Amino acid sequence: MAIHEAITRRDFMNGVGMGTAALLAGVPQTQAAPGMQGASDAFEPDLALELIARPRNASLRPGRTTSVWSYQSRMLKGDPTSVQALPDSYLGPILRLRRGQKVRIDFINRLDQPSTVHWHGLHVPDTMDGHPRFAIGPGERYRYEFEVRNRAGTYWYHPHPHGHTGEQVYFGLAGLLLVSDGEEQTLPLPRGQYDVPIVIQDRSFDDDNQFRYLGDTGPTARGNASGAPSAPGNAMGGRGMMGGMMSRGAMMSGGMGGMMARMMGFLGDTILVNGRPDASIEVATHPYRLRILNGSNSRIYKLAWQDGRPLTVIGTDGGLLERPVHKDYVMLAPAERVELWADFSKDDLGTQLTLMSLAFEGSMGGMMGMMDGGPMAAMMDNSSLAAGAQFPIFKVNVARKTNAKLELPNRLSAISWPRLQDAVNRAKPRTFRITMAQMQWGFNGRSFEMMAVAPNEVVKLGTTEVWEFANDSGMMTMAHPIHVHDQQFQVLERRHGAASGGVRDGYVDQGWKDTVLVMPGDRVKLLMRFADYPGLYLYHCHMLEHEDLGLMRNYRIET
């Protein structure tokens, strides 16, 4: 499959016209009811649209179509090019927003299980953040309204219902959200056909081209006659992960392999790029802006060019860096984003390049490391592509000559960092230790409860704090990508454990982050400011199977 070289606004609109509009032909027209959840009479949007989650079929491989879940959209108000379909993909449309824009999105749930939408990386009120307490049932609607306060960058959106996030993302519910602002517009960055979005995911197929997840096949195979996938685990009822999984029939539906995949994180054996296998991109002899999202449930990538040329990083989760950073490789954990300046201007026509994930070790420590590749691995139907394996992600073919020139700016953006001296807990950081007890992941020994907030999870609006995540809890350790809702934070310090030796040079901590990889034995300090909005937000591991099994907690911002 070739990724379109020219992903222009016109191409996107053609994609919308031929794909999304056709798919929505059977969706009834809806109007926002006065009592719609999340609605506000006072909000006047610049952009309004409907976002519908529903089942569909996609042609991903020769033979039978694949049953997926997909986001589709309908514009109600504003610039129609704000919603752009990824060509030939079942993934959600790209939402292009501007800083300062007021946005209204009416989410319509056409699934057979509860769902929400989380705007990953955006700074929004707690009622607009997609917290699972606001999940809506089948046939219901929720109105999301917010002003875009984030700086220009590559963000994304996905479901967040507790116990269902992993499978809903796995079966297709995810999309990119790109924010622009005045500062970015003044920079000589690649635009139009040279600005390429890339979503990397791993999936497993059965012999009938259906996705396999946690030992089951396809969304319809996981649930009832109406096609509702079964819950991989909501509340554990105090029984820990083993008890919770057993009570939900995990041994019957997914077997020991499904149970182990829940504990260790699901890994697929086929790499998809923008929802397609065997991806390639045709490029011109010109610099490109590659916006890369790790949209996988649990797989970590060690990105590098096969020919050894360095990666030039210009942006991370929260937008552009102050200056470009050059790396031999970049570590990209689930939910993290990286923006690369990829300059093919000096390559000959016919040159072929491959973006690889290089081999690495250390993502599992202690007893987990013994299980990975050891006797317990035989019980995992997880993947023939092991964690830390080396494999190609996509190919680049230099196919067209252009004389257009573009130089990499020495300075990209001005970042106004919070000041460490302003942190109210500078001398005693708030510490969150990743723990496992009775086969149950947790933070400081606590797993997720819908409304629960511990005393050390309450912060004051308007303050700056240092948070430390510690992944050093003994024999049961794994790599965990930690995401804090409502925040873009600064990585202050990493104290490395022995496991991170082969990956530590691949961290890009110079920019704003909302997700940070914490390897076994590591401790990572973050600096963040709690501004604008009080309320209840989440922090959690973004290995989605871990999140679904309770490695997630609330924190509350109080006035």
Confidence bin at 36 (pLDDT 50/70/90): low
**Statement: residue 330 has pLDDT above 90:** yes
- Residue 255: the pLDDT is 59
Give the range among 155-164, 369-378, 545-554 with minimum mean pLDDT. Answer: 369-378
Q: Strands of 141-147's sheet, edge to edge?
A: 66-77, 47-58, 102-109, 141-147
Give the range among 40-44, 114-118, 545-549 with minimum mean pLDDT. Answer: 40-44
Model pLDDT for residues 438-481, shown as the tens digit of each residue: 888 999 999 999 999 999 999 999 999 999 999 987 667 899 99
**Statement: residue 356 has pLDDT above 80:** yes
If we measure between CA atoms, which residue out of 199, 346, 339, 341 comes closest to residue 284?
346
- Residue 473: the pLDDT is 77
Tokens of 299: 């797989």
Instruction: State the helix-helix crossing angle for 240-247 and 255-264, rounded to 10 degrees.
Output: 140
- Residue 11: the pLDDT is 44
- Residue 18: the pLDDT is 35
**Statement: residue 379 has pLDDT above 50:** no
Model pLDDT for residues 418-443, shown as the tens digit of each residue: 999 999 999 999 999 999 988 889 99
- The pLDDT of 299-316, averaged and rounded, is 99
- Residue 167: the pLDDT is 97
Model pLDDT for residues 206-246, shown as the tens digit of each residue: 999 999 999 877 775 443 333 333 333 333 333 344 444 44
- Residue 31: the pLDDT is 35
Confidence bin at 2 (pLDDT 50/70/90): low
Percent of the chain, pLDDT > 70? 82
- The pLDDT of 25-40, averaged and rounded, is 46
CA distances from 271 to 266, 276, 301, 443 (A): 13, 8, 11, 31
DSSP 8-state code for residue 377: G
- Residue 56: the pLDDT is 97
- Residue 75: the pLDDT is 97
Q: With beta carbons less than 8 A apart as the criterion, state whether 398 and 283 touch.
A: yes
- Residue 526: the pLDDT is 99
If we measure between CA atoms, which residue out of 378, 386, 382, 68 comes closest to residue 215?
382
**Statement: residue 535 has pLDDT above 60:** yes
CATH class as words, domain 47-181: mainly beta
Give me the architecture of the 420-557 domain, per CATH. Answer: Sandwich (2.60)
The identity of residue 23, as a single letter, is L
From the centroid of its chain, how far is CA 116? Answer: 15
- The pLDDT of 247-274, averaged and rounded, is 73
- The pLDDT of 169-188, averaged and rounded, is 98
Instruction: Give the chain's mean pLDDT.
Output: 87
Confidence bin at 484 (pLDDT 50/70/90): very high
Length in residues, the chain: 559
Q: Which residues contact 419 (CB under 8 A, 6 or more apart)?
A: 464
- Residue 4: the pLDDT is 46
Q: Which residues contact 334 (CB under 8 A, 6 or more apart)?
A: 294, 295, 296, 297, 298, 299, 300, 481, 515, 542, 543, 544
**Statement: residue 149 has pLDDT above 60:** yes
Tokens of 227: 């096609």
- The pLDDT of 281-306, averaged and rounded, is 98
- Residue 422: the pLDDT is 97
The overall pTM is greater than 0.85: yes
If we measure between CA atoms, which residue out of 86, 70, 77, 76 comes closest to residue 16?
86
Tokens of 60: 């991903």
Confidence bin at 193 (pLDDT 50/70/90): very high
Confidence bin at 186 (pLDDT 50/70/90): very high
Q: Which residues contact 34 (CB under 8 A, 6 or more apart)?
A: none
- The pLDDT of 516-534, averaged and rounded, is 98
Q: Which residue has the higher pLDDT, 545 or 216?
A: 545
Q: With beta carbons less than 8 A apart as the criterion, state whether 461 and 424 touch.
A: no
Q: With beta carbons less than 8 A apart as the criterion, state whether 249 and 375 touch.
A: no
In the chain, where does the domain assigned CATH 2.60.40.420 lie? 47-181, 202-207+267-400, 420-557
**The domain defined by 202-207+267-400 carries CATH number 1.10.760.10:** no
Q: Which residues contact 100 (CB under 8 A, 6 or more apart)?
A: 147, 148, 181
